[in-house]
A = this chain, B = another copy of it.
Amino acid sequence: MAVDRDHVLRSAAALLTRKSTATMDEVAKASGISRATLHRQFAGRDALIRALEALGIAECEAALDAARPDEGPAGDAVRRLVAGIEPHAPLLAFLYTENQLFEGEEQNAGWARIDERVTALFRRGQSSGEFRIDLTPAWLTEALYGLLASAAWAVAEGRVAPKDFTHMITELLLGGARRPDSPAPSGRGKSS
């Protein structure tokens, strides 16, 4: 077992992120090993995806731990979280869409745990009065995933600069597109 399993996993993640339909052969080549060895490491394509999923979950939980979601203003915790996830965003974007087509099968319980922790963070922000309460924590969580995936793709295709990643996501998620001191906040109302 001289083969570095972790290295294989990361190469696979990098490739599948770019081409989600990559062949086992391509994955093997991308890791610099033969298909036979790849099969010795992972029983099959499913096993490989599962391993990638486990990796993504582990990285998410690590980022969650590092972000200290229970400390300080919730908004700052969200910023820390997004910043911590940034390096793993491409893999997560891949897993995000991969999950869409699992349809029937139940998904890894790890995601539920992560969902719960992220949702709790948003809930905390609402309780403290920092976040608005008309957007449910479940939706904010979902939106965070969507924005992470969108940003990862946008960066991958060069539509936005990598260095803006965290800023774009957190600012949009927390503050929205509307200018704080906008002259015409909404239209509808009269205020102003």
Q: Mark A135-153, 1 if CB is under 8 A from B, else 0.
A: 1101110110111011101
A142 and B160 within 8 A (CB): yes
Task: Give the contact-size bracket for chain A.
Answer: 35 or more
Q: How far is the CA of A164 from the CA of B177 in the complex (A)?
A: 19
B178 and A175 within 8 A (CB): yes
A103 and B19 within 8 A (CB): yes
Q: How far is the CA of A73 from the CA of B179 in the complex (A)?
A: 13
Q: Note all chain B residues with C-beta closer than 8 A to A142.
A: 150-151, 153-154, 159-160
B178 and A130 within 8 A (CB): yes
Please tell me if A43 contacts chain B, counting CB pairs below 8 Å: no
- A20-B101, A75-B187, A101-B19 as given contacts; A179 in contact with B143, CB under 8 Å: no
Please tell me if A61 contacts chain B, counting CB pairs below 8 Å: no
Closest chain-B Cβ to A68's Cβ sits at a distance in Å of: 13
Closest chain-B Cβ to A143's Cβ sits at a distance in Å of: 6
Please tell me if A76 contacts chain B, counting CB pairs below 8 Å: yes
For A125, A173, A176, A183, which residue has the most chain B Cβ atoms within 10 angstroms? Answer: A176
B73 and A186 within 8 A (CB): yes
B179 and A176 within 8 A (CB): no
Q: How far is the CA of A17 from the CA of B176 in the complex (A)?
A: 28
Please tell me if A168 contacts chain B, counting CB pairs below 8 Å: yes
A129 and B179 within 8 A (CB): yes
Interface residues of A in 63-121 (CB under 8 A from B): 72-73, 75-76, 79, 97, 100-101, 103
Please tell me if A46 contacts chain B, counting CB pairs below 8 Å: no
Closest chain-B Cβ to A49's Cβ sits at a distance in Å of: 14
A131 and B178 within 8 A (CB): yes
Q: Note all chain B residues with C-beta closer than 8 A to A168.
A: 135-136, 139, 143
